Structure 1
Amino acid sequence: MAMLRPAAMDLFLSATSIVSNANEWFEFLGTAFSAASLLLSRWRRRRQGDEAERRQLQWKGEDAKMKQLHYCMLQLPDLIHHAEWLSFVKDDKEVAKLLPELKARVHDAYDLLEEFNHHHHHQQQLQLDLGQDAAAEKAGDDFLQSIASGNTVREILDDLNCLRNTLEGVIDRHARSEPHQIGKLLRPAMTSFYDKSKFRSLEDEVNELLELLGVKICSARPHKRRIKGETASASKRNRRNSGVGSCSNQEIASDNVTVLAISGIGGVGKTTLARQVYNDERVKGYFDVRIWISVSDDFNVKRLTKEFIEFALANWMQSDNLCNLQQSLTESIVKFRFLLVLDDVWDDVYANQDNRWQNFLEPLKSAQQGSAILLTTRSQRVADLVNENRHFRLEGLPPTIFDEFFEACAFGSDRCGVNPELNPIGKRIIPQLKRCPLAAETLGRLLKPMLDREHWNQIAGSELWELKQEKYDILPVLRLSYLYLPSHLRNCFLFCSMYPKNHQFDKDTLVNSWIAAGLVESCKGGKLESDGYRYFEDLLHRSLLQKESSSPTDSKHVMHKLIHDMAQLVSERECFIVKGETDLTKIPQGVRHLSIIGSSSLSETNLRMVCKYKTLRSIVCHGVETYILTAVAKYWFEELTKIRMLGFLSCELNSLPENIGNLKLLRYLNISDCTFEELPRSFWRLQNLQIVDAQKCRVQQIPDDFNRLGNLQRFKLRGTIIKQPGTYEL
Structure 2
Amino acid sequence: MADALISSTIQVTLERALSLASDRIGLLVGFKKDVAGMTRSLRLINAVLANAEAKQNQDGAVQEWLKSLEEVAYEVDNLLDELHYESLHHQVESRNRHKLKVCCFFSFSNINLAFRWRMASKVRDIKLKLNEINQEANGLGLVSRLGMTAALPAAVGDTRSQQTDSVVAPMIGRTNDESKIVKMLLSPSEKVVSGLPITGMGGLGKTTLAKSIYNNQQIDEHFQKKIWVCVSKKVPVVELFKLMLVQLMKGKVEVDDRNVIVEHIQNQLGEKRYFLVLDDVWDDDQALWDDFFTTLKGLNPTNGSWCLVTTRLGPVAHSVSRVLRMMENEAYPLGKLPDDHCWSIIKEKVVGEGEEPDELKAIKERVIERCDGLPLAASVIGGLLSLKRKEEWRSILENRLLSMSGDGDRVMQILKFSFDNLPSQYIKKCFAHWSIFPKDSEKERNMLIELWMAEGFLQVDATSQMMMEEIGMNYLRILLQSSLLEEIIDKSETSISYKMHDLVHDLAESMSKSTKVIIDRDTYIVDNGDQIRYLAIDLSSGREDREKLLESQSMSLHTLFVNGDLSDDMLMKLKNLYVLFLSTETTQELPVSIGKLIHLRYVNLSKSSISILPDSLCKLYNLQTLALSGSQVKDLPKGMCDLISLRHLHYYNDDEEFQMPLEMGRLTCLQTLEFFNVGREKGRRIGELGSLKNLKGKLEIRNLQLVKGKEGAEEAKLSEKANLFRLELEWALDREGDDYNDEDVLDGLRPHPNLKELVI
TM-score (norm 2): 0.47
TM-score (norm 1): 0.49
User: Max radius of gyration: which structure?
Assistant: 1
The structure that is helix-richer by fraction is: 1
